[in-house]
Amino acid sequence: MSQDLRADFDEGPMHRSQWVAVAVCVLLNMLDGFDVLVMAFTGKAVSAEFGLNGAQLGLLLSAGLVGMAAGSLFLAPFADRVGRRPLILGCLVIVSVGMLLSSLSGSATQLGLLRVFTGLGIGGILACSNTIAAEYASRRWRGLAVSLNSTGYALGATLGGLIAVVLIGAFGWRSVFLFGGAATLLAIPLVLAGMPESLDFLLTRRPNRALDKVNAVARRFGRPPLDALPTVTSAPAGVAAGFRTLLAPRLRRATLVLWTAFFFVMAGFYFVTSWTPTLLVEAGLSATQGLTGGTLLNLGGIFGATALGALAARWPLRTVLIVYLLATAAMLALFLAALGSLTTAFAAGALIGLFVNGCVAGLYALTPVVYDSGVRATGVGTAISIGRIGAILSPTVAGALLDAGWTPRNLYLAFAAVFVLTAASLILLRSEPKQPVRREADPVQA
């Protein structure tokens, strides 16, 4: 057969085993959505037990995000050295241990340190699951495959809230962490059974018995085996070299554009999700109506990521993402003007959730195809880490601006401008990278 196995995966139909592998990635993101927001679910009960004030609870809520940023930056790059699958398995162990030990915490300090530790594993999983989902999928369905991961995250967060209410009422807040740790442990055999190693990693890094492993993946996904491996360009030799490659002349512009986009989109996303219920009340709605608006915003997000992936199967992903960014900006600019009608306001909130979640999903889908397989996890992990900085800063900055006299309308207009600038920056991004795997001029026939 042709040695161009990667091209066959890119252009050929999706095999059912490829969809199974993508489904495992979605499941991992559902667990991450639960694990990330577990402090939000249990915050009131934890505060009551440990006697925390608002600032102390805020530190606990941020601890997981700090750990996620560190995990995306420092753990995810090892997926380009040892493989996507081993790193995901290692990160699942970290998350399950962190969650189980959190259920035994004797103080807020212990719980905070364990949230940072758990976040390390979540950050590594998020970067690797998005990377490997993109590598399993064909070119046509790649945007959908990665967007479904974001849908999984939103589903995990939504279902996690419902599960947490039941568990806290029956067994207390510690049971929520215990449930999350046990569920994460159960995901390990699912990864072993349904997630083979990335073909891109095997072709680029050439571990021991690489040809046998490549052919095992090929047969599993309905492709004939190879007689010999194709030639390949050299990949960065270490983690530090991988970071340097991101800023080498060939990738520098794409890297800086993606870092800027992740920072601003995640800042906008966390502003919208964190402050919208409060700002709706500030604008004149009741507390119950404010919470309803926030819930509809999250509900819209479940559909936004999936819709983006479906659109990306028909039109260029970068184009779809730019449209989502501009639509988000327009909805933010008009949102508070819709408060004259409660029905219109709730509909606008759901649409904002749809578009802003789609923006995040679009960046997750776009980043893996920008980087070569030798630095793909490093590139995705670093971009996510930069985004987490924006996520951590934006709610605090928004609060400071409100204290300084800004109105809710001014804040929404400011973040609308951020989304417009992000859309403009993506015009500078090349839509398709040069691939590192270079095939033989005369393919060997199997």
pLDDT in tens, 350-374: 888 889 988 998 898 888 888 887 7
Instruction: Count CA within 13 A, CB hemisphere, residue 24.
Output: 29
Structure tokens at 191: 């990864």
pLDDT digits (tens, 9 = 90+) for 292-306: 766 677 677 778 878
Query: Residue 411 has what pLDDT?
Result: 87
From 274, 9, 29, select the one nearest 151 (Cα to Cα): 29
Phi, psi of 354 (to 5 degrees): -60, -50
Rounded Cα–Cα distance for residues 224 and 15 (Å): 13
Q: 241-426 in CATH: which number?
A: 1.20.1250.20
Query: Please, what sign has the CA dihedral across residues 281, 285, 287, 293?
Result: negative
| CATH superfamily of domain region 5-232 | MFS general substrate transporter like domains (1.20.1250.20)
Across the chain, mean pLDDT equals 83
First-residue to last-residue Cα distance in the chain: 4
Report the alpha-carbon distance of residue 422 to residue 366 in Å, rounded: 14
The CA-based dihedral angle spanning residues 92, 94, 100, 103, taken in that order and rounded to the nearest 10 degrees? -120
Query: For residues 177 and 185, what is the distance between their CA atoms, to the nearest angstrom?
Result: 12
Does the structure show a pLDDT above 50 at 20?
Answer: yes
CATH fold match for the domains 5-232 and 241-426 = yes
pLDDT in tens, 259-278: 999 999 999 988 887 777 66
Residues 6+ apart with CB under 8 A from 144: 137, 306, 309, 310, 312, 313
Tokens of 417: 């401008």
Q: In whole angstroms, what is the distance from residue 364 CA to residue 387 CA?
A: 11
Task: Assign 2 a pLDDT band (cuts: 50, 70, 90).
Answer: very low
Question: What digits encode the pLDDT tens for the residues 150-195?
Answer: 788 778 877 887 888 889 889 999 999 999 999 999 999 999 999 9
Unique residue bearing structure tokens 């909130």 = 349
pTM of the model: 0.77
Main-chain phi, psi angles of 26, to 5 degrees: -60, -40
| CB-neighbour burial class of residue 348 (10 A; exposed 0-12, middle 13-18, buried 19+) | buried
Are 404 and 417 in contact by the 8 Å Cβ rule? The answer is: no
CB 349 within 8 A of CB 179: no
Q: Strand, helix or coil at 209?
A: coil
Residue 313: DSSP 8-state: T
Residue 439 pLDDT more than 60? no
Of 337, 312, 304, 315, nearest in space to 413 by CA: 337
| Res. 339 pLDDT band, cuts 50 70 90 | low
d(CA 140, CA 12): 9
The length of the chain is 446
Q: What span, in angstroms and rounded, lies between the C-alpha atoms of 176 and 164?
A: 6
Q: Are 168 and 341 in contact (CB under 8 A)?
A: no
- Classify residue 106 as exposed, middle or buried by CB count within 10 Å of its CB (0-12, 13-18, 19+): exposed
Q: Provide the token pair at 76.
A: 């995810």
Look up residue 281 and give its two tokens: 């009340």
Which residues pair with residue 437 across a beta bridge?
232
**Is 276 strand, coil or helix?**
helix
The answer to whether residues 383 and 262 touch, using CB atoms and an 8 Å cutoff, is yes
Least confident of 62-76, 269-283, 303-317: 269-283
Residue 250: CB atoms within 10 A of its CB come to 12
Per-domain residue ranges for the chain? 5-232, 241-426
**Packing angle between helix 142-171 and helix 108-136, nearest 10 degrees?**
150
Of 33-42, 55-64, 98-107, highest mean pLDDT:
98-107
